[in-house]
Structure 1
Amino acid sequence: MSINVAIDGPAGAGKSTIARMLARELNYIYVDTGAMYRAMALYMIEHKIDVSHLDEVGSACDAITIDIQYSAGEQQVILNGKNVNDFIRTETVSEMSSKISAIPEVREKLLSLQRSLAAAENVIMDGRDIGTHVLPNADVKIFLTADAHVRAVRRYEEFIAKGVSCTLENVEREVIERDERDMNRAIAPLKQAEDAVRVDTSAMTIEEVVCYLKKLIGQAVAR
């Protein structure tokens, strides 16, 4: 019987970093659903798809294949045969990902793959609707969050480290705007599952969060 851990939360809460570390330490498979959406967003951008036209989006979805492979324990996102890990972490892709994540055709494309992985393996899956929609019966549900300004500072520092030109004010505005879109989209909006444990990481280090979540998972598995 596989163990499923669902981690949800807004942009910049540290979901991917923490989920990846947890998976490595627990020897679970990390499924970064956000990376899957980013891969689809990259395709839409590269092929100049007008995402306001659902017929164009539907045709694009038919042309897209996304596979998850692992190399040295790290997830590799393969878009139509190409490893796109190095191309899906830009702010442009992030913004497009938020837009297309509300489109039914896009969500359906990825849902079956995500659920199949969870049925076959012990997984830690992070996103915005994992505990509420993708894996509603997950063994452990966590809602990871932090103050909007704290999340903006984290993203700003990531961009600066990568050499991306930006201002903290613009990044914070984009974080707040994305929260608004994600929480108010018609399909599977960002919200805390009723049975999820809420963890505010504003004043916590990554190591402290990982340690706390390992205890939560250990308690759930022992039951």
Structure 2
Amino acid sequence: MIIAIDGPAASGKGTLAKRLAAYYGYRHLDTGVMYRAVAHVMLTAGLDLNDEVKAAEIAIRLDTRTFADPALKSQAVGSAASVVSALPKVREALVRFQREFAASPPGAVLDGRDIGTVICPDAEVKIYVVADPRIRAHRRTLEARGRGEAADEDAVLADILARDERDQKRSIAPLKQAPDAYLLDNSHLDIEGGVRAAIDIVEAVRAGRQRV
């Protein structure tokens, strides 16, 4: 089974997907971290984020061992990743890896912003996670401060809104809910509540029910 987790609610979405994968004994892939890794290399090297050729070369040579680098979680890298992810050649370089990962047994949970619409349109379960932008900004600010980073909540909110708009309007793989995706609003759910809600959705699909 392939479970696709999408949506703009980046804060907490990855943890939800990871917990869901652990619950079912599936493998987990945060596709967003791949674009963050490319962006981080670009920023570190002082390259133009819109240099599609350079970005694609980096994507092809991407070392998965770098995915755990805490630097990839910074606000600057996240914003840069939104720019890099809109480059066609970068997406082309990473899509094959993502699809092969999803197709390998015993099952997989992938989270990102185009899993259910582009990467795995035939996924058995699709969940679109949303949350109020101000709540997302508050959560992300606390996360950043927890890592010892200085973070202004208003600036974080502005960045979130700008990124959402950029991703929703990009010509390739825009951020949107797949027609057959279940909507999960975790604005007022802690991680445990979000995981429980996601499991309920998966179990409903497995049972052949149309409603959760």
| In 2, Cα distance between equivalents of 1:39 and 1:87 | 9
Q: CA 1:120/1:12 → structure 2, altered by over 3 Å: closer, same or farther?
A: closer
Offset at residue 65 of structure 1 (A): 2.6
Greater helix content: 2
Could you tell me which residue of structure 1 aligns to residue 191 of structure 2? 206
Greater strand content: 1
Contact 1:9 1:127 in 2 (8 A): yes
Could you tell me which residue of structure 1 aligns to residue 129 of structure 2? 144
Q: CA 1:144/1:52 → structure 2, altered by over 3 Å: closer, same or farther?
A: same
What count of residue pairs does the alignment treat as equivalent? 207
Contact 1:143 1:198 in 2 (8 A): yes
1:132-182 per-residue CA deviation (whole Å, 9 max, x = no partner) reads: 000000000000000110111010110111111121111111111111111
Q: CA 1:184/1:162 → structure 2, altered by over 3 Å: closer, same or farther?
A: same
> Is residue 102 of structure 2 the alignment partner of residue 118 of structure 1?
yes
Offset at residue 41 of structure 1 (A): 1.1
> Is residue 156 of structure 2 the alignment partner of residue 171 of structure 1?
yes
Which structure 2 residues correspond to residues 1-223 of structure 1 after superposition, within 5 A?
3-62=1-60, 64-67=61-64, 78-79=65-66, 84-121=68-105, 122-223=107-208
| In 1, Cα distance between equivalents of 2:82 and 2:32 | 9
Could you tell me which residue of structure 2 aligns to residue 72 of structure 1? none
Computed over aligned residues only, the root mean square deviation of the Cα atoms, in angstroms, reads: 1.6
Q: CA 1:165/1:127 → structure 2, altered by over 3 Å: closer, same or farther?
A: same
Structure 1: gaps spanning 5 or more residues: 68-77
Structure 2: gaps spanning 5 or more residues: none
Q: TM-score, normalised by structure 1?
A: 0.87
Q: Give the % identical residues.
A: 38
Secondary structure of the equivalent of 2:126? strand
Residue 90 of structure 1 aligns with an amino acid whose one-letter code is S
